[in-house]
Amino acid sequence: MPHHPEIPIGRFAPSPTGELHFGSLVAALASWLSVKHAGGRWLLRIEDIDPPRQVAGSATSILAALATHGFSADGAVLYQSQRGGAYAAALQRLRDEGHAFPCWCSRTDLEASGVLHRDGHCVSPAIAGREPAWRLHAPDLDIEFEDLLQGPQHQNVRTAVGDFVLRRADGLWNYQLACVVDDAFQGITEVVRGYDLMESTPRQILLQQLLDLSTPAYAHIPLAIDANGCKLSKSHAAPVLDMRSPLANLARALGFLGQPVPDAPTAAGMLRRAAGRFDPSPLRGIANSEPAAKPMPTDPASR
């Protein structure tokens, strides 16, 4: 059930896989503008559950870069690496209620069935002494939701992604489960994030329903892409933000989001003024334009 609290709570949840780049600044800014415009609270979460993809020191440098750009969280930063107990409890509940099953299928087994696992149970023999992965038994059900910016969405999780992994055989937690457990734990009422995560939202809503958690409002914003059409976080060429010019960086990010750029002597002042006049209408309807992404504006100083 969507839930309409008096004080909205939003969040920015970066993965510490590198420095803050323009695309993540845009995501942080959009989540901030939306919730602060409504007088709400903004929280931070570091999604450090995938050590092989992480870059040492990047959580600290992302937090420092956010502070340089005037962002301050209205509460302690939550680190997903500290939250294994909560994820294990959620998995236990899904197991107890028959929604999760252990799986010893290898990648080769899955390739034979077109990669997606849709059987609702493991089709390989259990391997004694080897930890299984745990998968969600995906129901054959359309998940529908209304994206605040992109309108009505629906996905049949079983058809689209199948029985997705909740915990890998090597013990690493899946993003979808961790995200849902932590959005609920932090009391998040609105999730504003990049359009590439739209395809995750139905899985997250399904998990919320199975775990009796409330569903926040969702809004997916255009992605910043580089000149080759790559998402900036995936792009090797993603330029690092110049930490000496936070006001210019914020001005470019506001421009990307279609917002006017207020005059302000400090980054925090610019954020405050921009939140006061935030208008989401330039961000609507991108779902119908292909790709749902926009090139990053070039830095006038580097032309």
For β-strands 151-156 and 142-147, DSSP reports them as antiparallel
Cβ distance to ligand GLU smaller for residue 12 or 101:
12
- How far CA 114 is from CA of 118, 162, 280, in Å, comes to 10, 11, 40
Give the nearest distance from C-beta 181 to ligand GLU in angstroms: 12
For the CB of residue 11, give the shortest distance to ligand GLU in the complex, in Å: 7
Which residues are 225's β-sheet partners? 231, 295
For ligand GLU, the closer of residues 122 and 161 by Cβ is 161
Contact with ligand GLU (CB under 6 A): which of 8, 9, 10, 13?
Answer: 13
CB of 197 to ligand GLU, least distance (A): 5
Which of 15, 54, 174, 235 binds ligand GLU (CB under 6 A)? It is 15
Smallest gap, in angstroms, from Cβ of residue 199 to ligand GLU? 12
Q: How far is the CB of 152 from ligand GLU (least distance, A)?
A: 20
DSSP string, 107-142: HHHHHHTTS---SSS--S---TTSPPEEEE---S-E
Minimum CB distance to ligand GLU, residue 15 (Å): 4
Regarding 179 and contact with ligand GLU (CB under 6 A), the answer is yes
Q: State the number of binding residues for ligand GLU (CB under 6 A).
A: 7
User: What is the token pair recorded at 12?
Assistant: 């920015």
State which of residues 8, 9, 10, 14 lies at the interface with ligand GLU (CB under 6 A).
14
Select the span of 13-21, 96-104, 152-160, 273-281 touching ligand GLU (CB under 6 A). 13-21
Mask of contacts with ligand GLU, 200-239, x by CB under 6 A? Answer: ----------------------------------------
With contacts defined by CB under 6 A, name the span among 9-17, 207-215, 237-245, 291-299 that binds ligand GLU.
Answer: 9-17
- Shortest gap between Cβ of 233 and ligand GLU (angstroms)? 7
**Which listed range, 8-16, 81-89, 90-98, 121-129, lies at the site for ligand GLU (CB under 6 A)?**
8-16
Which tokens sit at 157? 């999780």
Q: Which of 166, 197, 232, 241 binds ligand GLU (CB under 6 A)?
A: 197
Binding mask 36-75 for ligand GLU (x = CB under 6 A): -----------x----------------------------
Residues that bind ligand GLU (CB under 6 A): 13-15, 47, 179, 193, 197
